[in-house]
Amino acid sequence: MKKVLSILIILLSQASFAQQDEDTVFQHRKNDGYSMADHLDSLLASWYYYTGRDTIAYLSLTERHTHHYLDIPDSIFEKRIRKIVTPIELTYNKNVQKYLDKYVKKGKWIAPKFLGLSLQYFSLFEEKLDAYDIPLELKYLPVIESALNPKAKSRAGAVGLWQFMYKTGLGMGLEINSYVDERMDPEKSTDAACRYLKSLHAMYDNWTLALAAYNAGPGTINNAIRRSGGKTNYWELYPYLPNETRNYVPGFTAIVYLFTYADKHGYKPEYIEFIEDFDTVMVRKELHFAQLDSVLGISVGESRELNPQYKLDIVPAKNKEYPLKIRRKYLSKFMELEDSIYNFMDTLFFNPKTPVVISDKYVETIVPATQPEGTVALQYTVKSGDAVGLISNWYGISINQLKAWNGLASNNIRVGQVLKIYVPAALESKYKIVNSLTFEEKQRMAGVNTSSTPVKEEPIDPAWEYYTVKSGDTPYGISLKYPGVSVDDIMKNNNITNASGLRIGQKLKIRKK
């Protein structure tokens, strides 16, 4: 998922729609032209892709979700919905049941993921909702809006956890420009959503209509009220609403039910690893995520996940300070080396004429072979078992930097070869000892756990056909090589729980001969 910095310009407004209320900044969005079920499915898949989570495991579940059906009488759903205590009127009918079928009866593919993702965001939502004295059940709104994906973007141009349109976001005081989109900032967008929802409730004195207006915009709801002859009940307005808004409240009701009665259906949160031990620092100069990677060892992917609002991996602190979330273990080093971070190859990262390529796991910079400003030169003698990837990891640099500094046209290096390494001057003492360390010591210094024992391979069974895992392989890609063999087959036959469980050289059971 590489991104070339010079072409990352995101179109903020993609379409305009009929019946939009042009007189209010509180316009939201119209019908995208596809079902809410498809909307959630697509956004959840995109979240897995954006975070680098196990997309293959997600696909292996989605492709067989239609086989899981919990046959519960509809009357049970109706009875349970009536028992949910909330200021928001929740009604049971056939329209609601359609979404209960999708997310609850057939929900094995999606319910555990929603429950797992909620652990990352619901405490934030509840804190903000409570501060504005509005129903805590509104925390379920981002589930149907964005599938809890802070970088979600609809085809209509709505962005973020709360899916604000461009004008709505600006109207609620969110900063949106070429570098920053606070619609993707979980804290600021949640605060804006609370203020917006409270204003909508003040318009209608009815939370169901406020939800409908959040989806369609007040202008659309007001038009529906006029065309209905003045009715103000959501279900009486139902025939006069756009298709997506007709599905919106039923979908919301089904999600509220799902989270309230998950245990009744045997659903438990899927474990989804996310970063919890973070804090916020204020950035006072322009900062590129790659500088954090190079000086502190904070990967670009981690900075993106904690700070999704910075669209180009740049904190544009030219005229004012900006917040940056980092893990607490980096706080003291950030404060100690703050100036070194800002100065590290700043002429490279903020020079539009210099190509910079950023991936999720490392930084590739097309750099000159000369010594970068603010660095000191070290030497490393190649030893048996070394590789350019290992060496670059030990010194906190990229493979491309190592190759450019040493005139390497490929990744080939030889034992005894002396390599030039440039590191930040403030970190000279840290990296000066690398050349004298053992392999295990270098790995531990780079944060690699060397205490784990290798996984013992199962003996080859002649009754099975095998495949040897190569670099870049995934269960899905391997399944394409064998007609009739699914991702689920490969993962089950080899006791693999996620795509990251593959190892180069591993022998996979494919199918019986």
Nearest alpha-carbon partner for 122 in 146, 104, 140: 140
Contact yes or no for 350/316 (Cβ under 8 A) = no
Give how far the C-alpha of residue 300 lies from the chain's centroid of Cα atoms, to the nearest Å: 13
Active site residues: 145
The two beta strands, 322-327 and 314-315, are unpaired
For the chain, give percent helix, strand, coil, nearest 5. Answer: 50, 10, 40
Classify residue 295 by its DSSP letter. Answer: H
CA dist., res. 291 & res. 427, Å (int): 14
Q: Note whether 74 and 97 are within 8 A (CB).
A: yes
Residue 240 Ramachandran class (φ > 0 left, ψ -120 to 50 alpha, else beta)? alpha
Q: What are phi and psi of 44, to 5 degrees?
A: -65, -40
Q: Measure the CA–CA gap between 137 and 256, rounded to whole angstroms.
A: 7
Would you list the DSSP string of 179-235? Answer: SBBGGG-HHHHHHHHHHHHHHHHHHHS-HHHHHHHHHH-HHHHHHHHHHTTS---HH
CB atoms within 10 A of CB 453: 5
Residues ≥6 apart with Cβ < 8 Å to 202:
none
For every residue of 384-424, which 3-state class applies, written as one string? CCCCHHHHHHHHCCCHHHHHHHCCCCCCCCCCCCEEEEEEE
**Nearest to 356, CA basis, from 420, 295, 294:** 294
Map residue 353 onto helix, strand or coil: coil
